[in-house]
Amino acid sequence: MNRRTALRTLVNRKTKTQESAPLEQSLNTYTGAWDMAQAAHLLRRTMFGPTYAQMKDAVTNGMDATVTQLLADLPMPPHPVYYESGNPYGAVGDTWYNALDTNGQNNPYWRRSLYGWTIEQLTYEGVSIREKMTLFWQNHFAISTAVVGDQRLMYQYISLLRENALGDFKQLVKDITINPAMLYFLNGRSNTKNAPNENYARELMELYTLGKGDLAGEGDYTTFTEIDVAAIARALTGWKVAFDDSTGVITGGPYFNESKHDTDPKVLSHRFNNITILDSGEQEYIDVVDILFTYKEQIIAEFICRKLFRWFVNYTVDTTIEQNVIVPMANILIANNFQIKPVLEALLKSECFYDACSVGSMVKSPLDFTVSIFKQFGIVIPTDIYSKYSVFKSTYNVYLEVQQMPYYNPPTVAGWKAYYQEPQYYRFWINSVTLRARALFSGRMVNGRAVGGVFLKIDVLTFLETLDNPADPNSVIDECATILFAQDISQTQKDLLKAILLSNQSEDAYWIDLYYNYQSNPTAYETAIDSRFRTMLEGMISMAEFQLM
């Protein structure tokens, strides 16, 4: 059985398990065992690859303290900076997020800096859910830099998401409505009273707040109608993004052009009790969002909670999950005025989150896969600005692009298919192209490769010393499996890994002697112990189980 077939079999086997043994279908607080299995599961789902030390700390600290740490408020990270010497537009270390672009030539420097800076945030996230939630919102309010173009606007956009990752969802919807990147992406800046553009109005309801229900009649999607799309588009007219008339280059934020705004009354459909939106100028977009949340509060809450469940727990949402998990989550969201943090706290402490059918049920996203290798193996990234940004920018451009998850270029306005497309969901991440790309990246990190001009290689001997009992081959395999795999592996698989570690010797003494000889005489035994352990780790990374979380 080749690797691709093995992975397909493993993922499909898990799916069948889910069908025959459904999730523990409750938002009740989990009161079961708290050990490495539960702690590692919590961190894998909320971080981009937790380290062994972080897993052990979570076991010691307990579920409540670890969830509190994950949800703690953090200061915003420093702004991205120029990192390339010889750049005519700014010195190395200078920030560019508020710089002026008078000739259109700065943007490639900004783009490379933004990409490198972004992967840096994921790599050095600490024990925090913020980066996972920032990506959640990037997938929810999916904006592509290929359309927006100006990286200053992309940075403003991602900063808005990061700053409000755990905050007020209703306010975030208001803010994103007039965010300059969104005004570009869904043509809000060209939405005028004489030429209404319905793109944002439609996605505001269909993708961002209500969801598209079953078709109830012509132009009636149960949650909203085409009448509402047209009316709300008119209500949102008049918003522009400041730019230099002489060069066409964006120079500032959003502003309201009253002369482009439709001041006539806008009447919504029966789905909103035929309410009339009256002219309120630049405040009218706030009225629109308030109306959506007032008339469709429960629908909106359940819609976003369903997405959170699929993001953190499992894609299976049956009628029992809907009633016993999604609705209670939505009620918490409403009771807390649409603050996201209390909902996540309940979810991450729930019985359904820790159910055995949830553990290891997701295929790692390309970001999870790639960043976890950096973090879990402690790959040393140089700290000087040029080398650091070069490594992370190259990771983005070379490895994440080919794995089909460039952070700032989701493929559709609905985000990545893995998070919404039935029936495959997470399995979209694995295909003939992406599986080869994953193997290429992991193999290069095991054996050494220049990334962005910096040679990177897993220091397996340093990694070995992070284990609790590196002299015992059985413990070495068990601990590495704990770090790298979300699910237990079979004894047969362990025996095969042990054969690699022992160089096909039958006695554990082979490894024990080799390890202690290395401790007493590193120069003489370094090559031998490095070779055995590195080969075993390469085998583990190539296993289908490594693709799951």
Which pLDDT score is estimated for 135? 98
Q: Which of 111, 93, 125, 112 is nearest to 153 (CA)?
A: 111
Residues 57-81 pLDDT 10s: 999 999 999 999 999 999 999 999 9
First to last CA, the chain: 22
Is 17 inside a domain boundary? Answer: no
- Say how far apart CA 271 and CA 279 lie, in whole Å: 21
Domain-located, residue 50? no
pLDDT given for residue 104 in this prediction: 66
Which residue's entry shows tokens 């590495």?
Answer: 480
Nearest to 10 by CA among 427, 317, 318: 427
- Calculate the CA 193 to chain-centre distance: 37
Predicted local confidence at residue 18, as pLDDT: 43
**Phi and psi, residue 304, nearest 5°:** -75, -35
Contact 462, 378 (CB under 8 A): yes
Residue type, 32: G
Contacts of 246 (CB under 8 A, 6+ apart): none
Cα–Cα separations (whole angstroms), residue 499 to 441, 465, 525, 535: 25, 21, 19, 11
How many residues are recorded in the chain?
549
Angle at the Cα of 419 from the Cα atoms of 418 and 423, rounded to 5 degrees: 65
Instruction: List, in order, residues 6 or more apart from 241 with CB less than 8 Å away.
Output: 153, 180, 183, 184, 189, 250, 252, 253, 254, 255
Predicted local confidence at residue 12, as pLDDT: 52
- The secondary structure element, H or E, covering residue 17 is helix 3-20
3-state SS, 203-235, equals HHHHHHHCCCCCCCECCECCCCEHHHHHHHHHH
Triad 62, 64, 68: Cα angle to 5°: 115
Give the three-state DSSP class for 415: strand
**Dihedral in degrees, nearest 10, Cα atoms 83, 87, 90, 94:** 10
Closest CA to 136 of 334, 371, 358, 312: 312
Rg (CA), the chain: 25
Cα–Cα dist 112/313, whole Å: 33
- Listed as own residue / partner, the contacts of 213-220 with beta carbons closer than 8 Å and 24 or more positions apart are 220/269, 220/271
Is residue 220 a contact partner of residue 75, using CB atoms and an 8 Å limit? no
527 part of a folded domain: yes
Instruction: State the residue range of the domain holding 475.
Output: 462-547
Give the ranges where 102-225 is alpha helix by DSSP (H): 107-123, 130-140, 145-148, 151-163, 169-177, 180-185, 199-203
With H, G, I as helix, E, B as strand and everything else as coil, classify residue 276: strand
> At a CB cut-off of 8 Å and minimum separation 6, what does 87 contact?
109
Tokens of 62: 């307990």
- Distance CA(138)–CA(131), nearest Å, equals 10
Could you tell me if residue 470 is inside a domain? yes
pTM of this structure? 0.94
Question: How is residue 134 written in tokens?
Answer: 């920032």
For the chain, which ranges sit under pLDDT 70?
A: 1-24, 101-104, 245-249
pLDDT for residue 529: 98
The total domain count for the chain is 1
In one letter, which amino acid is 449?
R
Phi, psi dihedral angles at 250 (to 5 degrees): -65, 130
The predicted structure's pLDDT at residue 103: 62
456 part of a folded domain: no
In a domain, 347, yes or no: no
Q: Please give the pLDDT value at position 87.
A: 87
Alpha-carbon separation of residue 355 from 31, 178, 247, 345, 407 (angstroms): 11, 41, 58, 16, 30
Tokens of 155: 């940075």
Residue 538 domain flag: yes
Amino acid at 262: D
- pLDDT, residue 6, reads 47
Token pair listed for 217 = 């009649």
Distances (CA, A) of 448 to 73, 379, 440, 459, 541: 37, 11, 11, 10, 15
| Cα separation, 114 vs 94, whole angstroms | 13
In this structure, what token pair is assigned to residue 501? 């570690």
What local confidence, expressed as pLDDT, does residue 105 receive?
73
The predicted pLDDT at position 21 comes to 47
Residue 78 resides in a domain: no
